[in-house]
Amino acid sequence: MEQINIAETFRQNNTATVVKFVMLMAVIFLMTFIITVFPMSVTFMFLAAPALIMNIGWLMFARAL
């Protein structure tokens, strides 16, 4: 019976450890994702802005005809 108690104790302790590990990995992933994506998002915004402005201009020009 002692082996069953040890297995149950190990399962409970291991579950808590796995949850802590997963949460730590999720926080690290989100931090690195934000740090990596933020500079690129500024670049994409500057690259996309002229295209969006030109498309809006063409739509206004087509509506004026």
Q: What is the mean pLDDT of residues 26-49?
A: 90
Q: Which two tokens stand for residue 29?
A: 């992933």
Q: What is the mean pLDDT of the chain?
A: 84
- DSSP assignment of 31-48: HHHHHHHHHHHHHHHHHH
pLDDT at residue 31 in the model: 94
Give me the pLDDT at residue 3, please.
62
Q: What is the pLDDT of residues 6-37, one digit of tens each?
A: 667 767 777 778 788 889 999 999 999 989 88
